[in-house]
Structure 1
Amino acid sequence: MSITKEQTKTGTHPQFFILITVFFFWGFVAASNGIFIPFCKTHFNLNQFQSQLIDTAFYGAYYIGSLLLYIFSVASGIDILNKIGYKNGIILGLTISIIGALCMIPAVNAGSFGLILGAFFVVALGFSLQQTAAQPFAIALGSPESGAHRLNMAGGLNSFGTTIGPLVVSFLLFGNVAEGAGASADIKSINSLYLILAGVFGLVAIIFAVSKLPRVTTDEKFEKTTKATNSLLVMTALVGVVILLGLFTEISSLALISLTIIGVLVILFVSYTSAIKNSDGWGAIKFPQLILGMIGIFIYVGTEVTIQSNMGALLKLPEFGGLDESHISHFISLYWGSMMIGRWIGAISVFNLSKNSKIIATILVPLLAFAVILGVNMLRGTDVSDLYIYVLCIGVLIAVMFWGEEKPTKTLLAVSVLGVIAMLLGLFTTGKVAVFAFISGGLCCSVMWSCIFALSVVGLGKYTSQGSAFLIMMILGGALIPPFQGGLADVPAIGIHWSYIVPIVGFLYLAWFAIRVKGILKSQGMDFDKPMSGGH
């Protein structure tokens, strides 16, 4: 990778602080779905499965956007993003998101849930291009030595966006609703948010357009991988067929979404077994750590999203507080804030601290992050006294992080097992104990992305960039697993509470992946337990 002479050789380029605003809004909009989903369920009289289609549209766009970029690059034999430049890629992504944000306004005014889903899809389609370009661009905007620090700073701002997003959306929909008051809101009140988002996206795009920024290029030849491409197209065709079956047949939604998830996993497994027999044309998929990591990202993103996306329905149950959607924002904010807590811990290692200073920081930084969560909720006018007890969950995470010693496989195994325990505790209890147990899933998920990603691409050599692209496509799990849990929740014999067996299965796979990939990398003669550089 080469950078033009505009690249600053020390420190950080000033425009980096403009760039990281997009990281904030990815988190802001994604986390806001936790409020918007139960609101739309009530407003449009949807069942739980239908309400989760917001996540399907949003995270499905990440898959489609990444796939289209990959297919166009394969067809042309040129890395499209490298050709147009990361700066222009971000501007194009922002433009697409502006269109989606503006489309949300007529969709809301028309009162059409289908059009709202379409607007969400377009917004996230822009996000997928922004994310593909922004992360390597963040490394380029300054000295290479401080690149990891910039990514962690950007990730921290992303997590801050996930923390305050639910609060802002709740305020716009419901205002300052007093304790015990019912939900009363006009969906059109969300228009102001998307007008603001469109304006901010436009402003950032203009600033990027007029700024002199380094152009990042790579000399690596784009390798065509026909067999891997065909597998991705088959996977996409499967999703398309299932959508058509859902529209034109009476097959149950739960059966269709189950078929899709099974189909995706089978295609990945068959691709891997075929690559073992003959690796020609498979590219990165011939590496076992990559294919298992693709499944890992699929399950991790789906698990992370489904816990909070179905939480609004859970909190409506009398035994879980009997709260309507106007009173759940601080719980949704705490869930996403839990991600911020873990990622801030993961970012400590990028600083050159002494052993004792690192120990102190590992204890104090998550408590500071928790104080930030409480503070932004208090500014919203929310009584946060019922959240204080959550500090015990944070204490458990701190202990687990010490045990993990910043080693990817050890840390991933620890937080996965902790996730299983937390979900089981939530499944077999009710009330605040169960609510906080489920919310603590955010603590467990917080450092998983960096662990899975690092373990999946290590040893790929020239296929590292391709493997990274395949991993990002597997954000598709966020589009499929939440509606699958929603479909289970709609089954009277299961219900929303017992549907939380889904994240248990997810955490179990991730624990197995940590153990299995350790053995795979060891057999390849690699150091599989270098310290992590931070969370995603």
Structure 2
Amino acid sequence: MEHPMQPVLATGAMRSNAGHTGPLVIITILFFMWGLLTSLNDVLIPHLKAVYDLSYVQAMCVQFCFFGAYFIVSLPAGALIKRIGYQRGAVTGLVIAAAGCALFYPAASGGYGMFLLAFFILAAGITMLQVAANPYVTVLGDPVTASSRLTLTQAFNSLGTTIAPALGGALILAAGVRGAAELASLPVAGQLAYRAEQAAAVQGPYLVLALALLALAAVFAFAKLPVISYAQASAAEAHGSLLRHRHLVLGAIGIFMYVGAEVSIGSFLINFLGERHIAALSPADAAHYVSYYWGGAMLGRFIGFGAMRAVSPGKALAFSAAGSVLLIVTAVTSQGALAMWAIIAVGLCNAIMFPTIFSIALNQLGPRTGQGSGLLCMAIVGGALVPFAQGYLADRIGLQISFLVPAVCYLYVLYFGLKYAGMYQQRPPA
């Protein structure tokens, strides 16, 4: 019987901080790419909603399929990576993600369901990358500074999420989409032709992304990365329940809540900024402000990389979550520029949440670290369910008030940060 294993640098692999720099740079490229691909959803959701005349709940099926893949694929991905290794696992993830991007071409004529299938396959590849890359970063260096390193790599993930909305807005939303009343005035044949034309706007950008992912797969296949193997667990550790680690279980819930809240805000942001009493922006113009939302997370992660080497991660997490709740309440109870900038500023508060929750949850798991990472990646399914819940409320009680859903999620993150504020303290660099 196979035993659970812990990722460690194999004998003879590079162990100095200087030796880790090259591999970390290469792994950081992965973080950038999946950030870009994930954030493009925020542009496609309002586009597909308008093209196919969808309700908010129907439009959120994009995130349901995308982040639902994390729940379905995480454990099989972990098992596959255990068999073929981290590097080959990353290459496999890139190839699968490329296949998902390529499917957007036939989806333009295949309807909304075909788009949802493409989103699922794309996310399956990204899930493989997540399962491989996050523990890789925690191993490449001092365990005490794992949260700081993850924050730095997540900053480049945020660079991808910052670029994507503006790029997608220019390439996909620039032409604009006719309103429901204007579209209804066309004959049936004209409506079908128009929907096909608008849906085809995604073909070119996603074909380019597919080619870029395949090129990256080739680079990673031949890159000289340190080999990370697994240390065998003891028999007692092998048969012990992973769920007995309370901080891991609560951390998994924290990942669910945080990812759900962050994704939900990004998913509705273009529509929110289009509301007449908020900013009355066109989808193409609003897409630039989505970049500000994700750009805030990028800026905050670069700041957090240095600050969290001296500040307790739990305290920093609690402070950020409290700020998110206050900003959302402000956005829900106000209008105009105040509401607009309050909801955008939540991005800055999001900055350190994922890497901090992730590293706290994996702290001192020993041989169960790999399994713990798989559980945490499964919890990313929050990005599928929380937007769906907000969409349900938006259809029934209004878009603005529905933002209280992510506010509730951040309240849990606040609790988690306070609970583990003293779990461990990052020591400042020598």
Are 1:210 and 2:222 matched, yes or no?
Answer: yes
Match of 2:417 among 506, 514, 517: 514
Structure 2 partner of 1:133: 132
Cα separation, 2, equivalents of 1:136 and 1:98: 23
Could you tell me whether the CA contact under 8 Å between 1:3 and 1:140 is conserved in 2? no
Percentage identity across aligned positions?
33
Are 1:60 and 2:68 matched, yes or no?
Answer: yes
Structure 2 partner of 1:505: 408
Structure 2 partner of 1:90: 90
Cα separation, 2, equivalents of 1:211 and 1:50: 42
Match of 2:200 among 188, 191, 195: 188
Residues 135-284 of structure 1: matches in 2 within 5 Å?
A: 135-138=134-137, 151-175=150-174, 186-221=198-233, 283-284=241-242
Measured after TM superposition, the shift of residue 43 of structure 1 is 0.6
Measured after TM superposition, the shift of residue 201 of structure 1 is 1.1
Residues 293-332 of structure 1: matches in 2 within 5 Å?
A: 293-332=251-290
Secondary structure in 1 matching 2:232? coil
Opposite residue 86 of structure 2, the aligned amino acid is Y
Cα separation, 1, equivalents of 2:116 and 2:143: 40
Cα separation, 2, equivalents of 1:131 and 1:314: 30
Measured after TM superposition, the shift of residue 450 of structure 1 is 2.6
TM-aligned CA distance change 1:144 to 1:211, over 3 Å: farther
Could you tell me whether the CA contact under 8 Å between 2:169 and 2:287 is conserved in 1? yes
Match of 1:472 among 370, 374, 377: 377
Are 1:117 and 2:108 matched, yes or no?
Answer: no
Structure 2 partner of 1:393: none
Match of 1:343 among 301, 309, 316: 301
Could you tell me whether the CA contact under 8 Å between 1:298 and 1:478 is conserved in 2? yes
Structure 1 partner of 2:342: 437
Opposite residue 53 of structure 1, the aligned amino acid is C
Could you tell me whether the CA contact under 8 Å between 2:169 and 2:288 is conserved in 1? no
Cα separation, 2, equivalents of 1:440 and 1:173: 25
Name the structure, 1 or 2, with higher relative contact order (CA <8 Å, separation 6+).
2
Deviation readout 1:333-381 (Å, 9 max, x if unpaired): 0111111111111112488xxxxxxxxxxxxxxxxxxxxxxxxxxxxxx
TM-score with structure 1 setting the length:
0.69
Residues 333-482 of structure 1: matches in 2 within 5 Å?
A: 333-349=291-307, 406-482=311-387
TM-aligned CA distance change 1:60 to 1:223, over 3 Å: farther
TM-aligned CA distance change 1:222 to 1:84, over 3 Å: farther
Match of 1:531 among 399, 409, 426: 426
Secondary structure in 1 matching 2:19? coil
Cα separation, 1, equivalents of 2:239 and 2:76: 19
Secondary structure in 2 matching 1:320? coil
Structure 1 partner of 2:29: 21
Q: Give ranges in structure 2 of 5+ residues lacking alignment.
A: 1-7, 177-181, 183-193
Aligned length: 404
Measured after TM superposition, the shift of residue 296 of structure 1 is 1.2
Measured after TM superposition, the shift of residue 142 of structure 1 is 8.4
Structure 2 partner of 1:257: none
Match of 1:483 among 380, 384, 388: 388
TM-aligned CA distance change 1:21 to 1:408, over 3 Å: closer
Measured after TM superposition, the shift of residue 15 of structure 1 is 5.9
Measured after TM superposition, the shift of residue 292 of structure 1 is 1.6
Cα separation, 1, equivalents of 2:420 and 2:275: 40
Cα separation, 2, equivalents of 1:210 and 1:439: 40
TM-aligned CA distance change 1:150 to 1:446, over 3 Å: closer
Deviates more, 1:430-439 or 1:18-27: 18-27
Structure 2 partner of 1:47: 55
Cα separation, 2, equivalents of 1:503 and 1:156: 22
Cα separation, 2, equivalents of 1:503 and 1:116: 26
Opposite residue 531 of structure 1, the aligned amino acid is Q
TM-aligned CA distance change 1:300 to 1:349, over 3 Å: same
Opposite residue 272 of structure 2, the aligned amino acid is L
TM-score with structure 2 setting the length:
0.85
Measured after TM superposition, the shift of residue 146 of structure 1 is 9.1
TM-aligned CA distance change 1:151 to 1:289, over 3 Å: closer
